[in-house]
Amino acid sequence: MAKKTTIVIALLLLFQVQVQSQISNLGDLKIVFGTEVIFTSNYQNSGNHISDGDLYFNANFINNGSTASNNGTTFFKSNANDIQEITGSSNQIYFYNLEVDMTSPTVKGLSIANAIGLHLENSLYIKNGDLRLLGESQLIQANSGMDINTIGSGKLLIDQQGDSSVHRFNYWSSPVHRIGNFSISTCVFDGTDASLNPFGPQSIDFNNGFPYNGLPSVTDGSGNVTTPLTINKYWLYTYSMGNGTYADWLSIDENTALNPGQGFTMKGTGTLASQQYYVFYGDANNGDYSFGINSGESALLGNPYPSALDAQQFLTDNASVVDALYFWVDGGSNSHYLTDYLGGYAIRNLTGGVTPSVASSLISGIGNSGTVTPPSQYVSVGQGFFVQASNSGTIQFNNAQRIFKTESASETTFYRNNESSADTNKYLRIGYEDPEGFHRQLLLGFMPSSGANENYNQGYDAKINGLRDDDLFFVIDDDINSPYAIQGVGNFDEQMVFDLGLEVSEIGVHKIMLDDLENFNYPVYIRDNYTNTEFDLTTSNYEFNPPQGNYHNRYTLAFQPLYSLGAEENIVSQPKVYYNGVDAIEIYNYQRAIIDRIEVYNTLGQLVLTKVDGINNKERISIPFTKNEGVYVILLKTENTQITTKILTY
């Protein structure tokens, strides 16, 4: 066996200069495989640092340049320093293997400065001392397959924040574990004084019973926690693989063992700040995690890693099983009563993301001071989310889905209360506002390279989770039982039209508007198929006061004026037949054509209704119709022709 070459570098190295007892790389430094190098002083890299051998740091690493590693182990090893640090202006650093082995009598560990991505091509061993990821620093590992980390006496600590309100849920997932799984009591700690005591978070307390509120930390005059925060156990839940009912929520407590990637809910502490700070403390989650699921079931999962998760890659890897991620966003709830909850689910799929249906004032770009945005491509550390299975199969998490993205740079979103698209893609965000001010956003994406079309496309079309009594949605493949918030198609064509469904329960002013356009420079029309009229949304909002009912075939989205489509005059003038979604067949006879007789047949060919009286000299004919749900054929007999139309009652 070849013997390792050991080099101890205290003050001076080729291409290095000594600056105040600091070793500095100003050019190219490569540690070759089979070589062992020891830095006994602080090391500053301002050039290119490549380490394929074993590198020992006895002090700090200041990285202002580039790093790479294809082999070997980087050790942070000291028996004298309580804390060693990785800092510098470069926000990403690469090692192959990393081992932390610090043995001073009062050791704390290795500290990674805020907003640095620590990349490991292979494994992690926190032998002695802890590994502290400060602020938005993250750990990204690239090994394939199962977790290959070695568990030592040291642990990983990573920060995250949640809504502080005692009334509002946050959906969580832990980035760390203890002996394979995690519980809230063993992995979630008080982060109130994390900036003062980064290596010493206190265990949180728990209470139960009325008034079902958590409590904030008590701190001394310097900000140190003297009494840790309290979480109310009543609001701790996970979700059974179920069909979307409240019965599928499972009450847990602080000691319930959960698997990496499994989501849970928790309410805040009532601290005066808008956010409550927490620290996750345990062994780093790494490698593959999987969950079996049956078609039609929902699951509460979450990002299992101490790094951001690429939703696009996650959805691509699981395209045969799930087609969207659903993020709970509270809309300002100030009560524990279910009927008083305000909020909804933001959605992300391969087409893009949409905001939840919450008050307009909360939505960024809509309200004057709104902060709620569509979910980005990247899921934050600790963020929980729902998925709905379109097919039975296995949901997979793996390291290839991990990426370094931060919330402060608006690259990821953690929901407590867009990324730019390719130039060839075009996006429309359609807004709908009900009389109470709740705002539903729909996303229509034109993506030439996607392979999607105007029919249903797995991964590119996403259903609404939680349709309101007053709501607008896309209707795809004439399926009125599947309301969609996102529709993705291929190339844009000006002659395209997209069906919209509208459900109305409240009388008042309803609005349809354009929330945003991206790479799209065409007029957008909302077309009323009952009245054969249209409205240009690019000029102003469409405000109307429809009667109560379900309008599943009345409205369409179009991009050309109605009367520039080259339609024959006799087609335009023909009567239009619709079911109003409640109790009547509606016939709009724009040109007052002479109708001699109206007949309705079921699918067996049986005549179920005939009308001959009171059907002429009217632009609108309403025929009461309360037959069983199903398909019916309407036959209009005029003086010159017969017009046949199918309707679906529901």
Residue of 340, 378, 511 whose CA lies nearest to 436: 511
Structure confidence at residue 627 (pLDDT):
85
Structure confidence at residue 408 (pLDDT):
78
Count other Cβ atoms within 10 Å, centred on residue 421: 15
Residue 547 DSSP label: P
Q: Is the pLDDT of residue 98 over 50?
A: yes
Residue pair 472/487 in contact by the 8 Å Cβ criterion: no
Stretch among 25-29, 296-300, 418-422, 528-532 having the lowest mean pLDDT: 418-422
How many C-alpha atoms does 46 have within 13 Å on its Cβ side? 10
What is the mean pLDDT of the segment spanning 230-255? 92
Count other Cβ atoms within 10 Å, centred on residue 509: 11
Q: What is the band of 415 on the pLDDT scale with cuts at 50, 70, 90? A: low
**DSSP secondary structure string, 357-409?**
SEEGGGBTTTSSS--B----SEEPTTBEEEEEBSSSEEEEE-GGGEE---TTT
CATH topology of domain 576-649: Immunoglobulin-like (2.60.40)
- Tokens matching residue 30: 């490569």
Residue pair 428/524 in contact by the 8 Å Cβ criterion: yes
Q: Is the pLDDT of residue 13 over 80?
A: no
**For residue 420, what are the contacts with CB-CB under 8 A and spacing of at least 6?**
none
What is the mean pLDDT of the segment spanning 206-223? 96
Q: Is the pLDDT of residue 5 over 70?
A: no
Residue 182 DSSP label: B
Q: Is the pLDDT of residue 196 over 80?
A: yes
Count other Cβ atoms within 10 Å, centred on residue 587: 24
Question: 551-564 burial, b if ≥16 CB within 10 A, otherwise e?
Answer: bbbbbbbbbbeeee
Structure confidence at residue 438 (pLDDT):
93
Question: 312 vs 43, 296, 399, CA distance in Å?
Answer: 38, 22, 14
Q: Is the pLDDT of residue 529 over 60?
A: yes
Pairing of strands 343-348, 353-354: antiparallel
Structure confidence at residue 597 (pLDDT):
87
Pairing of strands 237-239, 225-227: unpaired
**For residue 268, what are the contacts with CB-CB under 8 A and spacing of at least 6?**
162, 163, 164, 165, 166, 168, 170, 214, 276
Structure confidence at residue 177 (pLDDT):
98
Q: What is the band of 273 on the pLDDT scale with cuts at 50, 70, 90? A: very high
Q: Is the pLDDT of residue 11 over 80?
A: no
Q: Is the pLDDT of residue 367 over 70?
A: no
Structure confidence at residue 413 (pLDDT):
62
For all residues of the chain together, what is the average pLDDT? 90
Dihedral sign (CA 304, 307, 308, 314): negative
Structure confidence at residue 108 (pLDDT):
98
Q: Is the pLDDT of residue 499 over 60?
A: yes
Dihedral sign (CA 563, 567, 572, 575): negative
Exposed, middle or buried by CB within 10 Å (0-12, 13-18, 19+), for 69? buried
What is the mean pLDDT of the segment spanning 221-247? 92
pLDDT tens-digit map of 587-620: 887 667 788 888 998 877 788 999 888 787 777 7
Structure confidence at residue 22 (pLDDT):
87
Higher pLDDT: 567 or 630? It is 630
Pairing of strands 117-120, 138-141: parallel
Q: What is the band of 368 on the pLDDT scale with cuts at 50, 70, 90? A: low
Structure confidence at residue 20 (pLDDT):
45
Distance, in Å, from the CA atom of 191 to the CA atom of 202, rounded to the nearest integer, reads 8
Q: What is the band of 186 on the pLDDT scale with cuts at 50, 70, 90? A: very high
